[in-house]
Structure formats: structure tokens, C-alpha cells
Structure 1
């Protein structure tokens, strides 16, 4: 356990240090020598994080200091929240203050609407279900602005079927469809998905983790992928399963009666999307809800209107 903590400490801080803009030197994140008291917590020495220079009171530093336990190595102090503060102030200056009336409207109520730039009369309400992976933020990729989309993110962008019981995902679905009355649901998957790779490699009887309990909800996609492309290597099978899992989630949406009813009446459109961040391409398609069937054993899905953006 000690080794694992030390191993994590080596990569967590350097990776987070990438938040620091190149125009700011490493030294600019250092506080003057720490002052204050030394306390003890679980037998470990702990120094006050207060800086002796009042001008730097808002700078948070991470310094392990002298360490006799071997749990954590010394690391450079990095002002991560200082960088976040600069980003927030930039957002406030260049976005919030320039669009103050829009944000005041948003403060009154939530009604996610995506406007067509070419025709401002075209506005549709959107819900997006995307992966929690930090590399594939839907607002960054598709340019969603505040107030345009109700977004939920989870591991591997999964939608569990109704029979699986309550989860944060179907709670968000219920709110978005029944309260906000969104007109579109877009499920976005992506290349090199760690959740799908875990699904493809784990054993079915491995139920010792929260990850397994969640990822196993896409087992149908795994079985379909392995059956469809048994001759391909593991990595290629994972790429196939990533798309298969999206369609599995689209079909699971139809297990909720209040979604199926709206989809059959053309009051709600269900879309799939696949982002390949290695080549920066995006594939988008629609679920043919009227001709897809989730009630029969071996349910089948049909898609239509596939588009490629590259």
C-alpha cells in the first residue's frame, strides 16, 4: 500500500502541473518560506500552508516537506487553484459580462435550448450523455454554451435499462424528459475508452468493485462485439464495442415508457455520437425508434441518417 501511494504521487502532481500556462515560470508558483506552527497528524509532521507574505495568502501549495514515513515524496508546490482562478476571471470578463442578460435569463429557470446560428428561430432542447473521461468534454468538442444542453457524464457513457433500478443517470433522464421536456437525447462515446477496455478484458465473475458493477451493464455490447468481429485483435474489438455500447445505451433508453412513448410519437429524437479524438472525427446517427424493438428476446436496433464530420 505504501508503494502504491508513492507511485501515485509521482504522476498526480506532474500531470496537474500541466494546468500552468507556459508564460508563467515555475518559480512564480512558490510561496516565500512557510511560517506558522508545526502540528502532528497520525504521527506525520504537518507544516502550516500559510505564506509569510500576505500578498500570497490565496496561493495553495503542496509540499510534503521532511518526511520520515516514506509515504509521500517531496513534490514541487503548484498553484493549481491560482490557474483556475485566472480561467474563471477570464470567463467572467470575456463571457459572463459580455452576455450578462443571457446569464440573468438562465438564473431564472433551466430550459436547455440549442439555437441554430443560421436561423435563430430554430431552438431545440437537448440532453447529452457523455463519458466522464477528461479528454472528451462535450462542451469543448461540440461547443455547447451555458443553457444549451443538460449534460450528464459517467464512466463509459452508459444508460442502464429500467430493470436495473435507480441510478444518477436515470434520475437525470427522468428530470430532463419529464420536467425539462427535452426534445433530443444524444449519447456520445469515444475512442480509447478506458471503461470499454475494462469491460472487454474483465471476467464476468469479477464483481469485487464499483467499476465492475457499473460497466457490466454494457455486457450485451461486449457479447455483440466479440461475436461480430472475433477475428480482430483486442484493440480493434474494443473500438467496435465502443460503438456497439452507444447503440446499446440508445436501446436502453426505450426501456423507459415515458421515453419510448415520446420517441414513437416523434416528440423526442434519440441520437448516437462517436468522437475519435486520435483523428478528430465525429460520427453521428439517429436511432430509428419506431422500427427498433426492445421487447423481444434478442432485441434489435435500427439506425438512420448517419453523418460523418471530419
Structure 2
């Protein structure tokens, strides 16, 4: 805890003054560039990763970057998504998974979360991910490869869930919202973006890749 308190004092002393005008303008409201949905894992920092400043990202964090289908959970996830799209008018939503994800490990090995009923219940929103990996990738047994494959497939499953949210479906239909699937490999700093045409997550490029039609003929691995 002391490290956190010391950090606050350092922020106020050395950093706030450098961006004081920015922080003052934030009192007028927010116009974030995107909604960034990612895992609660402490090893991923969306602002650090994208080099964005306060006010530029609207962030939602859940275990396993899970987006429950609309209507299945009456909680903060749906409210956050709806507010970002309907009130803040974000133009892009990114769902970003990451390497070595504990939630995805628990999905593959339920024994890891047997004594965590809330986690186990929440991961039911990734049941399609588990079935896809179990039934379609029996030829891949090496643990690390199965885990990163699960992370990839889960990003695609959660984007499908995201599209069940009425505000998202309507904005996508109007051409006002783009959806993106990313995977962050924190041990190398690489970010992979899903390319529908290739059916793969490939190193992110400068051009904007839109993840629109999710009907793919399953290519996936590497990363």
C-alpha cells in the first residue's frame, strides 16, 4: 500500500503539473477515441500499451475480457457498453485478450477455479470458447499453444457477444462503429490484430482493420 501512496505524491509533485491544462479541460467532459475492453489482469495497462492520455480511452475490464450476451447479466458490463456507444459516441470498440490469461487457464482446467464459484459462473459466458477449442483443436495438445489459441478464440466469441447488445448492433448497422479484436503478448510487447480475410491474428499494422463478419473458416494459430 505504501508504494501506492508514494506514487500518488509523486504524481501530484512531478506529473500533474506537466499536464495540468489537460486535466482542467477534462472537467468539460470526455470524448474518448474508443471503448477498450480487456482483462482485469494487472499485467495489461491499456493506456500504457496504446500510449493514450486521460480522456482518450473508455475502459472496461472483466475477467477474461468477457462480454456477457445482452440480457444475461444485469450488471455494469452492459451499462458501460451502452453508455460508450449511445452517450459518448465512440467510433471503435476493441476487445483485447492477452497471453498467459488466468481466466482462460481456468476455462481449460476447471480444477483451477473449483473453489471460486463466482469465477466459475462468470466463465460460463466463455463456454463457446471452451467448446471450440475442445472439439476443433484436438490435434493441439501442448499447453502453451492451447492457451494462446483459447485466448484468440475467446476474443472472437466475445465480439459475437458484443454484437448482441442493441446499441452496438444499431451503430454497426449504421456504419458508425467498428469492432476490433486484439491479442497482447505482454512478454514481447507485440499486439496482434484479427484479419478476417486471413482468419488469423497478425502483428498490428498502421492501417485500420475492421472486424465485421465473424463467419470464418477457422484458420487461426500462430501467434
TM-score tier by shorter-chain length is 0.7 to 0.9
1:100 aligns with 2:20: yes
How many Å separate the matches in 2 of 1:246 and 1:287? 14
How many Å separate the matches in 1 of 2:216 and 2:118? 29
1:85 aligns with 2:17: no
Question: Are the structure 2 counterparts of residues 207 and 268 from structure 1 closer, same or farther at C-alpha, using a change threshold of 3 Å?
Answer: farther
1:170 aligns with 2:90: no
Question: Are the structure 2 counterparts of residues 301 and 185 from structure 1 closer, same or farther at C-alpha, using a change threshold of 3 Å?
Answer: farther
1:253 aligns with 2:165: no
How many Å separate the matches in 2 of 1:235 and 1:179? 40
Instruction: Note the C-alpha offset of 1:301.
Output: 5.4
* Structure 1: runs of 5 or more not aligned: 1-79, 113-124, 293-299, 304-310
8 Å contact from structure 1 (residues 156, 193) kept in 2? yes
How many Å separate the matches in 2 of 1:150 and 1:278? 25
8 Å contact from structure 1 (residues 126, 184) kept in 2? yes
Alignment RMSD = 2.3
Deviations 1:131-183 (A, max 9, x none): 11111121222222111101011111111111413121111101111111111
Instruction: Note the C-alpha offset of 1:108.
Output: 2.3
Structure number with bigger Rg: 1
Q: 3-state DSSP class of the match of 2:164? A: coil
Q: 3-state DSSP class of the match of 2:7? A: helix
Residue equivalent to 1:244: 153
TM-score, with length taken from structure 2: 0.82
Question: Are the structure 2 counterparts of residues 288 and 273 from structure 1 closer, same or farther at C-alpha, using a change threshold of 3 Å?
Answer: closer
Question: Are the structure 2 counterparts of residues 85 and 110 from structure 1 closer, same or farther at C-alpha, using a change threshold of 3 Å?
Answer: same
Q: 1:134 aligns with which of 39, 42, 47?
A: 42
Q: 1:217 aligns with which of 125, 146, 163?
A: 125
Question: Are the structure 2 counterparts of residues 188 and 302 from structure 1 closer, same or farther at C-alpha, using a change threshold of 3 Å?
Answer: farther
Q: 3-state DSSP class of the match of 2:64? A: helix
Residue equivalent to 2:29: 109
Q: 3-state DSSP class of the match of 1:153? A: strand
Instruction: Note the C-alpha offset of 1:101.
Output: 1.5
Higher relative contact order (CA closer than 8 Å, sequence separation 6+) = 2
Give the total of aligned pairs.
Answer: 202
Instruction: Note the C-alpha offset of 1:91.
Output: 2.0
Q: 3-state DSSP class of the match of 2:35? A: strand
Residue equivalent to 1:230: 138
Residue equivalent to 2:172: 263
TM-score, with length taken from structure 1: 0.60
Question: Are the structure 2 counterparts of residues 190 and 178 from structure 1 closer, same or farther at C-alpha, using a change threshold of 3 Å?
Answer: same
